[in-house]
Structure 1
Amino acid sequence: MLSENTNKKYESFGFRFHGCHQDEIVGIYSIGWENVYSPDYNWDGLTRREVGKYVFQYTLSGRGMIEIDGNSHPLTSGQAFLVELPSRHRYFFPRDSEHWEFIHITLYGKEIQTAFQFIHEKKGHVITFPPESATIQLLLTIYQKAVEKKITDAYQASALGYAFMMELYRFARNIGLSAQQWPEPINKAALFAQKHYDKPIGLNDLVEASGLSKYHFTRLFHKTTSMTPLNYLTKIRIDKAMELLRSSDQTIQEIARLVGYSNGNYFSKVFHKKIGMSPGQFRESKHTVPVDHIVVD
């Protein structure tokens, strides 16, 4: 989901919009992408100044830790926690971890309070989400909109926060992809592909991200996703290319570069093979094609 931003430093964004509907329904208080290395990262939920806020934090790589009501839970790739501020919890960087990379969103409002209570009852505080789940894909989209400065008023923020809340409800009711649980090595590889698809990465990079042998990884990846690792990476790239073709005036060569292809001609060949038309034809037909995403094998 992320493109040029993967070259930038990790960022966090706070939103302080006027509009009482945010308190009644849902508002976004903050969103960010961080990678921490120091034990100084230590948040005690009983000493936070924020009141009536709800934190969702999803681990992308590395390992963190959260203590809730006296119980400790390690947080590895694909795992998220949901907590209320203030409440009895502490999440922190453990001293024996190499790093902890995560994306987080803090929400507020009466409706998100109800949603969090429902999800806690159904799923608990620590939950595993596959990277392909609609919940995580939407979270990445919201973050990208923040990076691109496309969240400019309370109504946009509430609409995005409400959509995220609905995906949490869908997950809690076991609807859609988010009901599945992927093995941690596959989570790691898939998240790596989604973050770095705009780079010249390939199978060996995905294997390294998974921590498995190439043979074991390729078999497990196909068993989990019904796709080969390279087909999965191609799917991410083509999906993003279609989004750019529909929403921007960038050239085919520029779009090819933004989705990880150094050669525009090769990109066009791959695109035509998967979609059945050239990138130019797809762009010209964008007002008549009745779908935003095309499922390919």
Structure 2
Amino acid sequence: MVLEHVGKKHESFGFRFQGDHQNEIVGIHTLGWENVKSTDYHWDGITRREVGKYVFQYTLSGRGMIEMDGKLYPLTSGKAFLVALPSRHRYFLPNDSEHWEFIYITLYGKEAEKAFRFIHEEKGRVINFPPESELIQLLLSIYQKAVDKDITDAFQASALSYAFMMELYRFARNLGAPVQQWPEQIVKAALFAQNHYDKPIGLDDLVEASGLSKYHFTRLFHKTTSMTPLNYLTKIRLDKAMGWLRSSDKSIQEIARLVGYSNGNYFSKVFHKRIGMSPGQFRESKYTVPVDHIVVD
């Protein structure tokens, strides 16, 4: 599951389950997606009321700042921080930043404390994660479950928390699928595409998001992702379109508009060229095609 599959943005969720066993396990305290634009956004890790909580916050776009041990760390696209509550840190929207968009999860429990301590020792407290990394995709899937109201009891929340925590361990130990540390400029462009695929954006917009020249951007993007910027954007749009085709009765024209195409006929041509069938054929085949996902390069 990638960024473009998230149905709703800028929501927050709190989870409060009963039972003395809660502190013995890993659980979700809060989860959310925000886009702050006011410098009033400022959290001090010493003065906060939460105790025994552990925050993981990942920057999607814009720029925030965190201060730890007297040192300032800029939080741009692709950077995450991990902090315990309470502890000596503060994070905020700096005066020279227009906005800071991020997704976060706050965990609790003794096992979460152990995991965060281990990550701090192995990787530090500010870490780069490419948007396609398994940990970030898992976080987005957990957020989507909250949006869909699919986290309804302590057992579900704990299972998701453990999955997230185990993915942190795997990252720290360099296990699982190898994750390339994408250049920051490419992370910015990739996140821009994933956040704005439903708008009429194109190559020039991705170039601008990266901050590079068009020549250097296209070469670096292909070297990093093994696809052109426009193919990457098209992949995002078609992935989302397939989700709509499978899960809704929206018209082809409406789905085209939802994924950034103003013309339904053009969308259908692109879809057929990449997927090998028309959007209508794909929709009607959803109960007979023996696969759950179609991978598009």
The TM tier, using the shorter chain, reads 0.7 to 0.9
Instruction: Return the alpha-carbon distance in structure 2 between the equivalents of residues 252 and 22 of structure 1.
Output: 47
Match of 2:139 in 1: 139
- Does 2:271 match 1:271? yes
CA-to-aligned-CA distance 1:65-118 (integer Å, 9 cap, x gap): 222233332211111000111122222222333332222111112332222222
1:74 and 1:3, CA in 2 relative to 1: closer, same or farther beyond 3 A? same
1:190-209 equivalent positions in 2, closer than 5 A: 190-209=190-209
Q: Secondary structure at the match of 2:296?
A: coil
The answer to whether the 8 Å contact 1:134/1:178 transfers is no
Quote how far apart the aligned CAs of 1:22 are. 4.6
Q: Secondary structure at the match of 2:127?
A: strand
Q: Secondary structure at the match of 2:23?
A: helix
The answer to whether the 8 Å contact 1:171/1:178 transfers is no
Q: Which amino acid aligns with 2:91?
A: Y
Instruction: Return the alpha-carbon distance in structure 2 between the equivalents of residues 177 and 107 of structure 1.
Output: 25
1:159 and 1:219, CA in 2 relative to 1: closer, same or farther beyond 3 A? same
1:157 and 1:71, CA in 2 relative to 1: closer, same or farther beyond 3 A? same
The answer to whether the 8 Å contact 2:6/2:140 transfers is no
Tell me the C-alpha RMSD between the 2 structures. Answer: 2.5
Of stretches 64-73 and 201-210 in structure 1, the one that deviates more from structure 2 is: 64-73
Match of 2:172 in 1: 172
Percent of pairs identical after alignment?
81
Quote how far apart the aligned CAs of 1:228 are. 0.5
Q: Which amino acid aligns with 2:147?
A: V
TM-score, normalising length: structure 1: 0.88
The answer to whether the 8 Å contact 1:135/1:178 transfers is no
Instruction: Return the alpha-carbon distance in structure 2 between the equivalents of residues 228 and 176 of structure 1.
Output: 26
What is the aligned residue count? 295
Match of 2:114 in 1: 114
- Does 2:16 match 1:16? yes
Q: Secondary structure at the match of 2:189?
A: helix
Quote how far apart the aligned CAs of 1:226 are. 0.8
Instruction: Give the gaps of 5 or more residues in structure 2.
Output: none
1:248 and 1:158, CA in 2 relative to 1: closer, same or farther beyond 3 A? farther
1:254 and 1:175, CA in 2 relative to 1: closer, same or farther beyond 3 A? farther
Match of 1:232 in 2: 232
Q: Which amino acid aligns with 1:292?
A: D
Q: Secondary structure at the match of 1:179?
A: coil
Instruction: Return the alpha-carbon distance in structure 1 between the equivalents of residues 277 and 148 of structure 2.
Output: 30
Instruction: Give the gaps of 5 or more residues in structure 1.
Output: none
1:257 and 1:150, CA in 2 relative to 1: closer, same or farther beyond 3 A? farther
Quote how far apart the aligned CAs of 1:56 are. 0.5
Quote how far apart the aligned CAs of 1:44 are. 1.6
Q: Which amino acid aligns with 1:247?
A: S
Q: Which amino acid aligns with 2:111?
A: E
Quote how far apart the aligned CAs of 1:274 are. 1.6
TM-score, normalising length: structure 2: 0.88
